[in-house]
Amino acid sequence: MMLAEQVATNINWTLICTIIMAIATFGMWLDSRKSRTTNITPNPLEVKEAASFVHRQEFEKHVEVNSQTHRDIFSKIGGVERGANSSIESKVETVRKDLVHVSNQVSALESKTDAQNQQLARMDAKLDRLTERQQLD
């Protein structure tokens, strides 16, 4: 057998093995897809007839009670909200008053510091003049 015939035979066997492996892989993939099912319980699409039904008047009464409960809850929430807002506003007003007081104190300290700096500058100038006179004498 010649080299070309051996190579062709090897290529044929390689192709046959590759095709068999591809078919096996595809089969395993299909098998894994079949075994992977999702079960949702209880079934949301299942419709059953109820053992007993509610009359329309009873249902409307239930709706009215729920509506009243809803209004009561929202009025309580509104009351809590108003109380919280007034509390926050009073605390903010207290903080504002404290800030005004602190601002006034800072202004007073600034003016005192300016006055002291001016006095120190005058004393420094006076000391400079005295030092110059002593050096001249």
DSSP codes of every residue in the chain: --HHHHHHHHHHHHHHHHHHHHHHHHHHHHHHHHH-----SS-TT-----SS---HHHHHHHHHHHHHHHHHHHHHHHHHHHHHHHHHHHHHHHHHHHHHHHHHHHHHHHHHHHHHHHHHHHHHHHHHHHHHHHHH-
pTM for the predicted model, two decimal places: 0.39
Spatial neighbors of 54 by CB under 8 A, at least 6 apart, are 62
Domain boundaries, given as residue ranges, for the chain: 1-30
What pLDDT digit, counting tens, does each position of 80-127 carry? 999 899 899 999 999 999 999 999 999 999 999 999 999 999 999 999
Q: What is the mean pLDDT of the chain?
A: 86
Give the pLDDT score at 127. 92
